[in-house]
Amino acid sequence: MRGDPRAVDAYGEAHARGRDPQPGRALLRLQEGDAAAAATSVRTALAAVGLDPLRRAPLCVAAVETSVAAGRLPDAAAAAAELTSTASTYATSGLEAMATDARGALLLEGGRAAGAMLLPHERRATVLLAAAVPVHLAVSIGWAAVMAESQTCVAASTALL
């Protein structure tokens, strides 16, 4: 719902009906430019959701994105580590893609594009294809720079088109 002008109302209605609007509401706040509030919302949602790793995974993805934007790299690193652990435990292509993206986002934020390029691109492309992840989503979470610098990744992004 990001980018949809009705999103604020929809998340408010979901909350009023007893549904947790996170991580969508936090990501909307991030898109509106309030990174600190977005990161706080995700941290609150993670505290409330309990210990189920599969319920926490989408929140961890948002935690990485919002924490990086808010300059809270230790929080982003903790969420990325949790995603990596969950992906290792459950070994699904979607969780593996989320964990790889989180690690890549941290490497890019730390100015280590070369390290991000060392992530397993062939495996990542296979995972993204298997999970039917749209190209715009993969690019929107910060992989454009890596794709531009890596022949392997450029080939993978072309395959996704």
pLDDT digits (tens, 9 = 90+) for 6-32: 777 787 787 788 887 889 889 989 988
Classify residue 143 by its DSSP letter: I
- 153 residue type, one letter: C
HSE of 46, CA atoms in CB hemisphere, 13 A: 25
Contact call for residues 27 and 38 (beta carbons, < 8 A): yes
pLDDT digits (tens, 9 = 90+) for 106-150: 888 776 555 555 565 545 555 555 555 555 555 544 444 444 444
Q: How far apart are CA 11 and CA 17, in angstroms?
A: 10
Q: CA-based angle 104:67:153, to the nearest 5?
A: 15
Q: pTM to 2 decimals?
A: 0.70
Cβ–Cβ under 8 Å, residues 72 and 36: no
Q: Which two tokens stand for residue 7?
A: 């999103």
Closest by alpha carbon to 19, among 49, 60, 64? 49
Going from the C-alpha of 32 to that of each of 2, 35, 65, 127, 135, the distances in angstroms are 10, 8, 14, 30, 23
Task: Kindly give, in sequence order, each residue whose CB lies less than 8 Å from that of residue 54, ignoring residues fewer than 6 positions away.
Answer: 86, 90
Question: Considering only CA atoms, which of 23, 25, 30, 26 is closest in space to residue 10?
Answer: 25
pLDDT per residue as tens digits for the range 52-91 = 999 999 999 999 999 999 999 999 999 999 999 999 999 8
